[in-house]
Amino acid sequence: MIAVVKDLPPLIRPMQQSDLGAVAAIEAATYDYPWSIGIFRDCLLAGYTNFVLDSDGEPVGYGIMSIAAGEAHLLNICVLERLRRQGIGRRLLDHMMQLAQQTSVERIYLEVRPSNKSAFYLYDSAGFEVLGLRESYYKARNGKEDAVVLVRYFHDVTAESSPESDG
């Protein structure tokens, strides 16, 4: 009997220079104001945490995160439209949060458009909280759109800052 494996879930692997064209194409198909291939190249050169979702050797999603000084900043995460709402983006987000925790990151930040309801649902379900607002942060068809700043803490910061925790 010969078994045929079909529709394997995408693998998460480090992004490579050879992925940049496909990653930029996913970005361009998703956003009205996409990052350029040069920005993705710069993220690789800067040594950011860069991953792709690989399906049969082809990127179908990606995530980019910077880590420094005990903090992480999720800069970009995206999955091809046809693969959304299947838990694949959540798997990538969980993977990146796990890597951040392994490097002793205390918190992870990100910005999201208020109009991006599916992203809000994803981040809320992953334990992110609203921290604030950056006014006129994103380009938009009608000028600018605000960004909601979200944060996910990896430990109880309130216990550390309360008077009772001093001893």
pTM of the full predicted structure?
Answer: 0.84
Concerning whether 123 is annotated as a catalytic residue, the answer is yes
Single-letter amino acid, residue 56: D
Per-residue pLDDT of the chain (167 residues; tens, 9 = 90+): 454 445 667 899 999 999 999 999 999 999 889 999 999 999 999 999 999 999 888 999 999 999 999 899 999 999 999 888 888 889 999 999 999 999 989 999 999 999 889 899 999 999 999 999 999 888 888 889 899 999 999 875 544 444 444 44
Which residue is it, tokens 């980019």?
A: 64
Q: Are 60 and 54 in contact (CB under 8 A)?
A: yes
pLDDT tens digit string along 133-160? 999 888 888 889 899 999 999 875 544 4
164 flagged as catalytic: no
Place of tokens 């205390």: 106
Ordered by start, the domain boundaries in the chain are 11-166
Q: Taking all residues of the chain, what is their mean pLDDT, rounded to a whole number?
A: 88
What contacts 135, CB < 8 A, 6 or more positions away? Answer: 144, 146
Q: Which fold would CATH assign to domain 11-166?
A: Aminopeptidase (3.40.630)
Token representation of residue 114: 């208020």
Among 27, 48, 62, 111, the active-site one is 111
Instruction: Pick the catalytic residue from 48, 62, 123, 138.
Output: 123
